[in-house]
Structure 1
Amino acid sequence: MTSEEPVEQPIWSRWVIIGGTLLAVLLIGATAGMFLTRAVDDSPAATPAAGSVEVGFAQDMSTHHLQAVTMAGWARDHSTDPEIRQLAFDIERTQLEQVGRMKGWLMLWDQPEQAIGAPMQWMTEPMAGHGDMPGMSMAPVSVNPAGSALMPGMATDAQLAKLRSLSGKELDVFFLQLMLRHHQGGTAMAQYAASHSSLPALKALVTSIMTSQGAEMDQMKLMLSSRGAQPLPA
């Protein structure tokens, strides 16, 4: 081998770099979440309490986002399609940063990272466009076979198992279908929170979510169409 020939980077090294990058994104988001919230209002009287829209949204949306990160991580590691792998990495990076912000808020507010009991108890009115779903005003839209509640758009355990069992084009299509529906559910939750909270930091995060997920939903619809597939039924 001559000195001019490039040395290929080991695969394990690339994954270590990617993992380190995603961890850094999460930490940056947490730091930004705490800093921006303090900068807006540092008075104890303004601190959201347990059961508030702000606390409930931060707890539930963090959980919602982390499922998207899990699905995206699987697709990034197992798809052979460069377009799918790039989309998956973008979703991981964006949503981890947003999770970091929300966990930063919860730390500042002295609240647990996960809600106690069923999710979405902070939602006391039907979501826009979801009023026809049974129990949407106070409860999740579906339940796993094991009995655990699911938030709008979240995949069931069976669907996650199916995703892990697929390969090739079937994996790519099912990932796009699950992630598109996941984004749609998360977007509705974010819109509800923004319309029921006056917290500037929350409204800023919702704007970020709407911008990133709106663009990704448009992209996923085009990617499904180009692969001869359709979104999952609502």
Structure 2
Amino acid sequence: MTKEPSLPEDLAEYAEVAARPRPDRHRPWLPMVAVLLVVGLVVAGGVGYLVGRPASPPADDSPEAGFARDMQVHHAQAVEMSLIVREKSADPGLRAMAYDVITSQQQQIGQMYAWLDGWGLPQTSPRTSMAWMSGMDHAGMAGMPSGSGSMTMLPDGRMPGMASAADLARLKAASGRAAEVLWLQLMIPHHQAGVMMAEAVIQKSDDPQVVKLANAIRTAQLAEIDQMRQMLKERDGVERSS
């Protein structure tokens, strides 16, 4: 069942004050006004929340559910790597970008978690990651390497773009400029895969809230890919092949 939106604190306070008995005059209709105010706000908020949403929630095997689950995992690793590099870098520009990744992707993780909860679906699934993307072809997409083609799981079970355990260990062991270069080398393909996932659900979904977030992810990460490439070039780093 969809959770009702909370009442804004200032209006809740107004309703509570309006319902209090007044010693100077008798106003028996005030409590009813307060009740109607609260009910009206809840109903209005609920209608606003539901406008534009599909009549029924996405199914467990839907592209929306697959995207929400897989992108949470994908985002979580980007946050982890960005937290690591912020402790190792003194460069203001790179630290600012890492901070943006941390804050924006943590917020998006919470948003997708809430979707699944609201849809009455589990946060994980026995289905193979990326299965919801079957039939997609991303060749020639903006920001993608040539020949990127369709998304398939890597031989060791990782989703495309995900850093390996060895990569993360190297990042944790690195420091200074070396850590910055490695973070950029890992984050570029990580973002490229994130863009592919967003593009896939944009094409497959008719849920406005899902499409809206996917478009925001795609736009932000394509812009960050360009910035990361420039930062990597400034550090004489070489982009890793996907």
- Report the TM-score, using the length of structure 1 for normalisation: 0.75
Q: State which of 79, 89, 112 in structure 2 corresponds to 1:79.
A: 89
Residues 128 and 36 of structure 1, relative CA distance in 2, 3 Å threshold: farther
The aligned amino acid for 1:190 is A
Residues 82 and 65 of structure 1, relative CA distance in 2, 3 Å threshold: same
Aligned twin of 2:126: 116
Distance 2:100 2:155 in 1: 29
Counterpart check, 1:177 vs 2:189: no
Write the mapping of 1:1-234 to structure 2, written as runs, cut at 5 A. 38-41=50-53, 43=55, 46-129=56-139, 136=150, 139-140=152-153, 142-144=154-156, 149-234=157-242
SS at match of 1:84: helix
Q: Percent identity?
A: 36
The aligned amino acid for 1:116 is P
Distance 2:47 2:102 in 1: 23
How far off is 1:202 after superposition? 1.1
How far off is 1:132 after superposition? 6.4
Larger radius of gyration: 2
**Conserved? CA contact 1:153–1:181, under 8 Å:** yes
How far off is 1:85 after superposition? 1.3
How far off is 1:37 after superposition? 6.2
The aligned amino acid for 1:115 is S
Aligned twin of 2:12: none
Distance 2:147 2:228 in 1: 26
Residues 41 and 66 of structure 1, relative CA distance in 2, 3 Å threshold: same
- Supply the RMSD in Å over aligned alpha carbons: 2.4
How far off is 1:174 after superposition? 0.4
SS at match of 1:153: coil
How far off is 1:161 after superposition? 0.8
SS at match of 1:118: coil
The aligned amino acid for 2:194 is G
Residues 202 and 36 of structure 1, relative CA distance in 2, 3 Å threshold: farther
How far off is 1:183 after superposition? 0.2
How far off is 1:116 after superposition? 2.0
Alignment length (residue pairs):
192
**Conserved? CA contact 1:56–1:120, under 8 Å:** yes
